[in-house]
Amino acid sequence: MSGLRYGERVDLALAAGDPEAVLDVAMAACEACRGFPGMVWDEVVEQLAGQPAGTRTRLVAVIPARLAPAPGGLRDALLYLSLRLSHGLPGEMLAAERREALGRVADCWQVFGPAAAFAEAELDAGRPLPPAVAAALRRDAEGRFSSRKALAARVTEPVLNVGEQWAETAMADILALRPVWRDLLAHATTARALRPTATWERTGRALLDGIGPGVFRARTLGWLALAGRPRTLTLRQDFRDAPVNELLDPFNANALRGLTWLLACTGPDGETATALGALVDTALRRVPHHGPRHPRVASSAVYALDRIGGPDARAELRRLVESIAHRTTLRQIEAALARQESQPQ
């Protein structure tokens, strides 16, 4: 059968009613593309997933015996195949084994391989994802062309990603605070636009009113002071050249941006101006092979400085205009400073 395509070999094994032979072909297809999605492996999985329920039941029944001796990549492939074959069948096969495999992405920047499918199965079963796994999925979904956005949107807990000092502190703090704080943090994570829309700000102001601007300011400035500190959960370095543990978590970065937008609604304040300026510095610190950590966080902090106004904000903008080299942010600072200095003193 060596001259036959994998799909043809699968057909022959199916016709012979030999589930072990079918799995032999499937595993050979997986090894042929080193377990990565696409190519012949994907074709074989789709071919087998389209078989009648009785055929799939027999195939699923012989998979568990193959798990223990299989190396890591093939083991995950077998779990993925079992998941696809089990669709629509009664019961839940190998759920504990899938959760164990899913746990292996807990210290990764993003999910990879079949982990997204395993995460979806957990959510479909009504089980929450482990916090570090949820964080990896959310980071993955923040990529511009990510296919994980809809899946990540189903993850509502924890409200922020674990692994960063400021986020861990914020989540610990709100456990002792009223539920409106959790709602406010959740709203902050939706700050993905260049600037807050009228609808976003209206919702944010309503949440602020439920807390009190002064109370919000005092608590939030403590969180912002921790942004950029060393991670509480060290991530495995992946394929990228940039050291991932020096980057800002992009999901939490949305929340930082949202918090600065809300601070912009609280009026002039010296401590706020200082904290926003420090956040600009943190967000623009250069990371090898990456560049500034997160220019959009810096941009949001400058926007907030411009909005709150007052002598302290002007002083912070003057400091930044002398120290910032990032051109886009510098132009924004210069424009904000020009507006501030044109106002009556």
Q: Quick one: which of 120, 156, 166, 112 has its CA closest to 136? A: 112
* pLDDT tens-place string over residues 134-174: 999 999 999 988 999 999 999 999 999 999 999 999 999 99
Q: Quick check: 191 and 261 in contact, CB under 8 A?
A: yes
pLDDT > 90 in the chain, percent? 86
Q: What is the distance between the alpha carbons of residues 314 and 339, in angstroms, rounded to a whole number?
A: 10
Q: How confident is the model at residue 237 (pLDDT cuts 50, 70, 90)?
A: confident
Q: In the predicted model, what is the mean pLDDT of residues 262-282? A: 97
Q: In the predicted model, what is the mean pLDDT of residues 216-223? A: 98
Q: In the predicted model, what is the mean pLDDT of residues 196-223? A: 97
Q: Quick one: which of 223, 307, 226, 285 has its CA closest to 332? A: 307
Mean pLDDT of the chain: 94
Q: Quick check: 77 and 27 in contact, CB under 8 A?
A: yes
Whole-angstrom CA distances from 165 to 12, 70, 301 are 56, 38, 19
* pLDDT tens-place string over residues 242-260: 899 999 999 999 999 999 9
Q: What is the distance between the alpha carbons of residues 141 and 290, in angstroms, rounded to a whole number?
A: 19
What sign does the dihedral 256-259-285-335 (CA atoms) show? positive
Q: How confident is the model at residue 25 (pLDDT cuts 50, 70, 90)?
A: very high
pLDDT of 1 above 80: no
Q: What is the distance between the alpha carbons of residues 113 and 120, in angstroms, rounded to a whole number?
A: 13
Q: So what's the pLDDT on residue 178?
A: 96
What is the residue extent of each domain of the chain?
1-93, 165-342
Q: How confident is the model at residue 331 (pLDDT cuts 50, 70, 90)?
A: very high
Q: So what's the pLDDT on residue 293?
A: 97
Which helix (DSSP H) or strand (DSSP E) does residue 292 occupy? strand 291-292
The amino acid that residue 162 corresponds to is V
Whole-angstrom CA distances from 320 to 160, 274, 278 are 29, 11, 9
pLDDT of 2 above 80: no
Q: What is the pTM of this model?
A: 0.93
Classify residue 284 as exposed, middle or buried by CB count within 10 Å of its CB (0-12, 13-18, 19+).
buried
Q: So what's the pLDDT on residue 3?
A: 58
Which range (85-94, 255-264, 315-324) has the least confidence?
85-94
What sign does the dihedral 64-70-72-73 (CA atoms) show? negative
CA Rg, the chain, in Å?
A: 25
- Give the number of other Cβ atoms within 10 Å of residue 10's Cβ: 23
* pLDDT tens-place string over residues 28-85: 988 887 655 557 888 999 999 999 999 999 999 999 999 988 887 889 999 999 999 9
Q: In the predicted model, what is the mean pLDDT of residues 273-296? A: 97
User: In sequence order, what are the residues at sequence separation of 6 or more whose Cβ sits closer than 8 angstroms to the Cβ of residue 78?
Assistant: 23, 27, 63, 66, 67, 70
Q: So what's the pLDDT on residue 39?
A: 76
* pLDDT tens-place string over residues 102-144: 999 999 999 988 999 999 999 999 999 999 999 999 999 999 8
The values of phi and psi at residue 292, to 5°, are -55, 145
Q: In the predicted model, what is the mean pLDDT of residues 184-204? A: 97
